[in-house]
Amino acid sequence: MDFTLSDQATAFRSEVKALLANQLTDDMVDAMHETGTFNAPILNAALADAGLLAGAVPGYGNRDPVELYVLFNELEKAGAPYDGLAVTMLVAGVVHALGTEFHRTEVLEKLLTGRHYCCLGYSEPDHGSDVAAVTTRAISEGEDWVIDGQKMWTTMAHESDWVLLLTRTNPDVEKHRGLTMFLVPMDTPGIEVQPVATMATERTNATFYDGVRVDDRWRIGEVDGGWSVMGVALALERGVMGGTNPAVPLLRHVREWAEKAPSPDGGLMIEDPLLRERLARTAIANQVGQLLTLRAAWVAATGGLPGVEGSMAKIYASEAYQEVVGWFQQMAGAEGLLGFGADEAAADGWIDYNARHAPVTTIYGGTTEINRNNIAERHLGLPRVR
């Protein structure tokens, strides 16, 4: 096995690193936590203007497809706000793989300017993990579709130009066979966005669709073929697009804190053997998370859909993140509870923030349990029981 990236991907990574070093500011990071919108328009535009977004769409042009992984891994490691860009690039990947000429012109080309955004409309109030059971209806009326329903966790909906919307077009067949996917422009009459606050500063949304009328050109994939579109979208989401190295910036913050923080036993925390052991274990987890993700990216880059590989990367990285965050928060004692802006907060509040953020990572993009089902059935060959 060769663990060297291609010359092209290495050059791409250097460009991304250089751009982040120049453009990512503390103000952008502060703003993401103040506004709850994990998105940095200036950074996105700069990435696009430098030609770095187009390279990150799998199969687009003649770029090394591993560049998608490289882009988001660098953004995640740097602690940049990237959730808005991740969803947008995910949709760009879906459009590139399955979209029509109309979608490419109207959506993909705009997304690659770094100045337009998308959100994901999959989950509903009553349908989360069992996403194939969604009830948001799309009914055909001549050349149009009329959509009614409600979606949850539509993060970035308040900034988005389009929502990738999973709808039910046939309620009379097995649930996976009656779904159709649309790219719905968010300025279509009948769409309402309501904010949902979370325990980790990030804002998400509930979105409501009341008689939303779009023409058939906004359908992506076949009528009643929405589940195969979901397969492409989820494979892109799990593992490849960030989310598997969250403990890299955490380790930096903990280390900086430990080099100054006094230990209750005297000396500095960085001299504490248990803390050092745990820093080492975190560094191992970071490498393993990166390698499992790189493998999923490699599968995607060579034309496969890394469903099982993505599940493995996601389970491992998110579970490990929760474990290490728990260690460091407890080791920081009472100061590990103090948040951004609090006097004496351990790691300026970053430990508290990570401890707040960690619980969602085993939920979004497919829970640990859904991913375990995936591995049990598709990799281990155990009987399907649902």
Applying CB under 8 A, the residues found at the interface with other proteins are 1-3, 77, 245, 248, 251-252, 255, 270, 273, 276-281, 283-284, 286-288, 290-292, 295, 311-313, 315-316, 319, 369, 371-373, 375-376, 379-383, 385
Closer residue to other proteins (CB): 7 or 141: 7
CB neighbour burial string for 77-97, b if at least 16 within 10 angstroms, e if fewer:
bbbbbbbbbbbbbbbbbbbbb
| Cβ contact 45:30 at 8 Å | no
Q: Which two tokens stand for residue 374?
A: 């995936």
Closer residue to other proteins (CB): 39 or 362: 362
In 3D space, the residue among 125, 128, 220, 116 whose CA is nearest the CA of residue 165 turns out to be 220
User: 124 in helix, strand or coil?
Assistant: strand
In whole angstroms, give the CA distance from residue 67 to residue 54: 10
Q: How far is the CB of 179 from other proteins (least distance, A)?
A: 25
Structure-token match 């953004």, residue found: 75
Q: Which two tokens stand for residue 379?
A: 């990799």
Q: How far is the CB of 29 from other proteins (least distance, A)?
A: 16
Closer residue to other proteins (CB): 204 or 371: 371
| Cβ contact 66:9 at 8 Å | yes
Q: How far is the CB of 165 from other proteins (least distance, A)?
A: 31
Please state, in angstroms and as integers, the Cα–Cα distance from residue 87 to each residue in 113, 305, 367, following that order.
Answer: 15, 18, 18
Closer residue to other proteins (CB): 144 or 323: 323
Q: How far is the CB of 367 from other proteins (least distance, A)?
A: 11
Q: How far is the CB of 377 from other proteins (least distance, A)?
A: 8
Q: How far is the CB of 363 from other proteins (least distance, A)?
A: 16
Closer residue to other proteins (CB): 155 or 290: 290
Please state, in angstroms and as integers, the Cα–Cα distance from residue 57 to each residue in 99, 236, 268, 319, 365, following that order.
Answer: 13, 10, 46, 28, 19
Closer residue to other proteins (CB): 61 or 383: 383
User: What dihedral do alpha carbons 121, 127, 131, 132 form, nearest 10°?
Assistant: -110
Position 157, amino acid: A
Closer residue to other proteins (CB): 216 or 369: 369
Burial class of residue 176 (count of CB atoms within 10 Å of its CB; 0-12, 13-18, 19+): middle
Closer residue to other proteins (CB): 12 or 316: 316
Q: How far is the CB of 143 from other proteins (least distance, A)?
A: 45
Closer residue to other proteins (CB): 45 or 270: 270
Q: How far is the CB of 94 from other proteins (least distance, A)?
A: 25
In whole angstroms, give the CA distance from residue 328 to residue 226: 42
In 3D space, the residue among 79, 83, 72 whose CA is nearest the CA of residue 349 turns out to be 79
In whole angstroms, give the CA distance from residue 363 to residue 344: 31
Q: How far is the CB of 357 from other proteins (least distance, A)?
A: 18
